[in-house]
Chain A
C-alpha cells in the first residue's frame, strides 16, 4: 500500500522529477567509456557539446562495430566562480547590457580587449588547491573505479584545468586500475600527463596558455609548452576553446586529439572484471572499517543483501567484509529489469569508528553519487538498513524503460 501511495505521489509530483529513457543503446554492453573533463571556462552545456563533438568525430573515424562499444560521458568540473567573477569585474563596462557579457563569453560577438584581459587575469589567479575540490575529485575517481571494476577502459579527454583533475584522479587509482585509465591531454595547464612525458596537444596560438605561462600565478609549475600549430589558425579570439580552436574540422590539432583517443583505446589494458556491468548498477565503497552492507529491495519483493545475494531481477555480485568495498548490485540486462521501485539502503554492519560511505547508482543514463556519513549511533546496527534512494523504473513512452532516482 505504501509503495502504491509512493507511486501516486511520484505521478503527482512528476513535474518535479526527471525521467530517462532506457533506449536500446543503454541495454548494450560497452567496452570503454570516454569522459570529457572540462576547464573552468566551460559551463556544463559546453562540456556536453564537447563530448558530443568527440562522439561525432570518433563515429567518423572508427568502424561501426568499434564505435558501438563506446560510451560518452561528462566528468564535470565546476567553474569555480570564474564566470561570475568575470561578470562582476566587467559589469560597469557592459553599461547595463548583461546579455552582451554572455555573447562575449560564448564567443558570439567579437571579444573586446578589456574583456579578454579580465578573463586572463582571473584565470591566472586560480590556484590548483582551489580548483581541486576534494569532494568533486572523489566523485570522479569513484566513477572511474566503478567503470574499471566493470571491466571497461576509461579515457579522459581533459581540456585546460580538466588536466589537473585528470592527473590527480590518476594518483588516486590503484596501479592495477591505472593500466586501464588513459588521458588525452588538451591545452594542458599542468606540467605533466599522468606523471609521464605522454602526448598532449597545446596550440601555439592558445592565448590562455600563453598568458598562464607568462603570469605564472597560482600554478605549481609552468604549463606544458605549446606544441601544435594549425594552418590556418582558427578564427577564435582565445585560441583556447576545445570546440572552436582545438577540434576545428580538418585541423592538425583535431586529428592529433582524435588520434590520441584511438591510440589509447588500443593501448590500454582491458581491466579484469571485478563486478558485473548492467542496466542498473549500485556500487558501494567506504573506508577502512570492516563492513558496510548494501541492501536492495526489488519491485518483486525480494530483499537482496549479503545473506540472500540473488534476487529475481538482479544480484549482489560482490560482498566485501574487510573494508573499503566495493559491494555491488546489478541488474544484468533489460530482460530482467522490472517496473516498480528498487529501494537502495545501507547498513553499517561492523565497525568502531565513524565512516563515510560512497554510493553510486547508475540507471540507464542517470548517475547519482551520494556520500553518506555514518556517525557513531550507527555502529554495529545490523539489520536496520537506512534507505538512501528509491529508484523508480516505469515503461518508456514508446518502448524500453524510464528511470527516476528519488531521494
Chain B
C-alpha cells in the first residue's frame, strides 16, 4: 500500500472510530493551514469545504507544517490544529480541543508565539539581488516583506493575514505572469486579496494595500515585472465582487481572530 492510500485508510478509520467523527463537521482550518493549502491550490479558496475534506491528506500535511513552525509566529493551535507532537499522534485531524487551554486574552503570550517572534533576519541588499528575493523560512513570503508586515502591524493579526494573502498574490504575479492568460488568472488572486484587505480595514485598506505594494516593488526588476503584468491586462474587462461580498475573498476566517 502506498503512502497516500495508507493515509486515506487512516482517515477512514478515524472517521469510523472517532467519538464525534469527521463527517458532517468542518475540518479545522485556521489561518496557517489556510495559508498552506492556498500555496498548494488557490482554488480551494475557503474553509470547511467539501473539496477541502476530499483533499484531507493535503490538509494534514499543512497541519504538520504548521506544527513544525514552518509558518513561524502565525500558528494558532486552536484554529490551525497545529498542536504539539503528542497531540497530533492521538488525534491527527485535531478534531478535539487542544490538550492545554489557550492562554486567557490579556495575559502575555508564551515565548515564541508573538507576531514578532521567530522572524527571519533582515535580508538587506542580498534580498534585492533577484526577482524572487530571499525566503529563508520558506513560508511563501519574502523575508523583508514578512518583517515589514509584522513590524508595521504588530497589533492586528487580521491585517497581517490579509497582507500575507496579498503578498503571495504579488509574488505569483511577478514570477508567474509570462503571458496574458496567466496574468488574467493572477489578477483574480490580487483582486481577492485586495478585497479582503478592504474588508478587514474599510477605512484605510486602499492605503495599506498600496503601501504594501510600494514596499514589495523595491527594485527596478520587481517594478518592471509588475508593470509588465499590468500591461497584459489592458483591453480586458473585469467584474469585481460587490462590496458586500468582500468578506468571502479572505482565505482565512477573520472571525477566529480577536484583533
Contacts and interface: CB of A to CB of B under 8 A. Distances in A.
Given A52-B240, A73-B239, 16 more contacts: A14-B41, A51-B240, A76-B237, A77-B234, A87-B220, A98-B217, A98-B223, A99-B214, A99-B215, A106-B213, A139-B236, A139-B237, A365-B239, A365-B240, A367-B237, A397-B48
Contacts of A35: 237
A328 B63 CA distance: 47
26 contacts: A14-B40, A14-B41, A14-B42, A18-B188, A23-B241, A35-B237, A45-B190, A48-B191, A71-B239, A72-B239, A73-B237, A74-B237, A74-B239, A74-B240, A78-B234, A99-B214, A99-B215, A99-B218, A365-B241, A367-B239, A369-B237, A395-B50, A398-B48, A398-B49, A402-B43, A407-B181
B223 A18 contact: no
Interface string A101-122: 1110110100000000000000
Interface string A12-30: 0011111111010100000
Contact of B231 (A55, A79, A105): A79
A78 B239 contact: no
Contacts of B47: 397
A118 B158 CA distance: 39
Given A44-B230, A79-B231, A143 B214 contact: no
Interface in A41-97: 43-45, 47-49, 51-52, 55-56, 59, 71-81, 83-84, 87-88, 91
Interface in A348-407: 362, 364-369, 395, 397-398, 402, 404, 407
Contacts of A103: 211, 214
Most chain-A CB neighbours within 10 Å: which of B48, B237, B248? B237
A35 B185 CA distance: 20
Contacts of B233: 44, 76, 78
A133 interface: yes
Interface in A120-135: 133, 135
B117 interface: no
A343 interface: no
Contact of B207 (A98, A99, A108, A138): A108
Contact of A45 (B176, B194, B227): B194
Contacts of B185: 16-18
Given A14-B43, A108-B210, A101 B223 contact: yes
B203 interface: no
Interface string B22-61: 0000000000000000011111111111110000000000
A52 B206 CA distance: 11
B42 A45 contact: no
Nearest to A40: B234
Contacts of B48: 397-398
A52 B184 CA distance: 19
B187 interface: yes
Given A45-B194, A48-B191, A397 B46 contact: yes
B234 A133 contact: yes
Interface residues of B, number: 57
A366 B185 CA distance: 10
Interface of B: 39-51, 176, 181-182, 184-191, 194, 198, 206-207, 209-211, 213-215, 217-220, 222-224, 227, 230-231, 233-243, 245, 248
B243 A19 contact: no
B234 A18 contact: no
A330 B214 CA distance: 42
Contacts of B41: 11, 14-15
A136 interface: yes
Contact of A73 (B50, B217, B240, B248): B240
Nearest to A389: B181
A136 to B, nearest CB: 3
B189 A18 contact: yes
The 5 closest A-B pairs by CB, nearest first: A78-B234, A136-B235, A102-B214, A14-B41, A397-B46
Given A20-B188, A45-B190, A83 B237 contact: no
A80 B238 CA distance: 19
Nearest to A106: B210
B240 A72 contact: yes
A178 interface: no
Contacts of A159: none
Contacts of A395: 50-51
A19 B45 contact: yes
Contacts of A369: 236-237
Nearest to A146: B237
Given A19-B45, A23-B245, A25-B245, A368 B240 contact: no
A240 interface: no
A102 B215 CA distance: 8
B43 A404 contact: yes
B240 A143 contact: no
Contacts of A73: 237-240
A155 interface: no
Contacts of A404: 43
A295 interface: no
A197 B237 CA distance: 28
A138 B241 CA distance: 25
Nearest to B207: A108
Nearest to B245: A23
A83 B223 CA distance: 9
